[in-house]
Amino acid sequence: MNWEQVRTFIKELGEPAYRADQLRKPVFEEGISSYAEISTWPESLKKALGGQDPILSLTLKEMTVSNDQRCWKAVLECRDGKKVETVLLRPSEARWTTCISSQVGCAVGCPFCATGQMGLKRNLSAEEITDQVLFWRQFMRREKIAGRLSHVVYMGMGEPFSNYAEVSRSLKILMDQSLFNLAARHISVSTSGIAPKIALLAEDFPQVNFALSLHAASDELRNFLVPVNKAYPLEKIREALKAYLQKSSRKIFLEYILLKGTNDRPQDAENLIRFVRSVGPLELLHVNLIIFNQTDSPFEATAENDARVFQKKIMSAKIHSTVRQNLGRDIEGACGQLILKQ
């Protein structure tokens, strides 16, 4: 829903301003799927709005659920026929998180990531980005799932910082207390390293969680694994992370997918330790070691035991670190597995 547009439309119909306000909670918080459900509205208004402006700009095309029932993946179609994927996760009993897309495809082209293989089709609008969250709120209401969708991660398809204007608008909408009412601390944005936007995020949204997809701590390897490194090499990333830490007191998450024989060797751990230590105070940095989700690529996941060895090595240098196993692998809803034929 484009809230401003809908509000203007209601005004143009000659309705008082409180009519629009009556929409806020049912639409954004409760997740109603149709204007007919606004009990406080007159029939004429429900009809006028229903014909003019559907609540969602996206239409459901396909839904899959993982065997463990903790991950749902939806394929949603935009008005121009382009498709995006979004995922609903239940990482623990009481927590509901959605992983949303910021672009159709991605131009960065990381060779281990399925989205990277499709190239960039186009940016998503703030409405299309926030409608993914709205879609899941509607879904939870329809399925009578108790609990509140409270966490959002920008880790679906696309590079959020290559679409900064719309992503930043979408963040404002998600955090608006009269709309989605999400806490900044429950939102995470992940980037492959568009350096100039890193400090900007700290300035614009100092409370939002920030993750950098590092994956390698030498320029040679990172040029290969995260090709945007050629434009913004590690030296630039280091400066940007330092600037971030000066502007925000939040911890930075460094994502590192472990790829067997590629970036999990002892030398790679040493490079990682050196890089992390050069960025700033260790209590403000956290390395997330990610178990690779198989994609159609020549890479292989590091075995769980070897991942632990790698983790031990960097922890012995006093660096905070966790090993993350993603949910939803059986339905290709996990990170990096999102790919679609357009």
Binding mask 113-152 vs ligand SAH (x if CB under 6 A, - otherwise)? x---------------------------------------
Residue ranges of E strands in the chain: 59-65, 71-77, 83-92, 95-99, 103-105, 120-123, 149-154, 187-191, 209-213, 252-258, 285-291, 320-324
108 scored as a contact of ligand SF4 (CB under 6 A): yes
Q: Which of 109, 126, 121, 300 is nearest to 192 (CA)?
A: 109
Among ligand SAH, ligand SF4, none, what does residue 295 contact (CB within 5–8 Å per kind)?
Answer: ligand SAH
- Between helix 304-315 and helix 266-279 the angle, nearest 10°, is 40
Tokens for 146, please give them.
């108790």
CB of 12 to ligand SF4, least distance (A): 40
- Alpha-carbon separation of residue 88 from 17, 28, 70, 296 (angstroms): 34, 17, 8, 23
Contact with ligand SF4 (CB under 6 A) among 113, 208, 234, 307: 113
Which residue reads 């940095």 in tokens? 285
CB of 291 to ligand SF4, least distance (A): 15
Which lies closer to ligand SAH via its Cβ, residue 55 or residue 198?
198
Among 36-44, 69-77, 103-111, 204-212, the segment contacting ligand SF4 (CB under 6 A):
103-111
Q: How many helices (H) and strands (E) does the chain have?
A: 10, 12
Binding mask 144-183 vs ligand SF4 (x if CB under 6 A, - otherwise)? --------------xx------------------------
Please report the DSSP string for 239-303 in residue order: HHHHHHHHH--SPEEEEEEEBTTTT-SHHHHHHHHHHHHHHS-GGGEEEEEEEPPP-SSS--BPP
Among 88-96, 101-109, 200-208, 280-288, the segment contacting ligand SF4 (CB under 6 A):
101-109
Contact with ligand SF4 (CB under 6 A) among 110, 187, 200, 234: 110
- Alpha-carbon separation of residue 238 from 54, 163, 219, 254, 321 (angstroms): 45, 22, 12, 12, 19
Among 4-12, 24-32, 34-42, 290-298, the segment contacting ligand SAH (CB under 6 A):
290-298
Among ligand SF4, ligand SAH, none, what does residue 109 contact (CB within 5–8 Å per kind)?
Answer: ligand SF4
Binding mask 36-75 vs ligand SF4 (x if CB under 6 A, - otherwise)? ----------------------------------------
Among ligand SF4, ligand SAH, none, what does residue 292 contact (CB within 5–8 Å per kind)?
Answer: ligand SAH
Which lies closer to ligand SAH via its Cβ, residue 99 or residue 140?
99
Which lies closer to ligand SF4 via its Cβ, residue 38 or residue 110?
110
How would you classify residue 194: left for phi > 0, otherwise alpha for psi between -120 and 50, otherwise beta? beta
Which residue reads 């749902």 in tokens? 72
Bridge partners of residue 211, in order along the sequence:
190, 253
Q: What are the catalytic residues?
A: 85, 335
For the chain, how big is the Rg over CA atoms in Å?
Answer: 21
Q: Which residues bind ligand SF4 (CB under 6 A)?
A: 106, 108-110, 113, 115-116, 158-159, 192, 213, 336
Q: Which residues bind ligand SAH (CB under 6 A)?
A: 106, 112-113, 155, 159, 190-192, 213, 255, 257, 290, 292-293, 295, 335-336
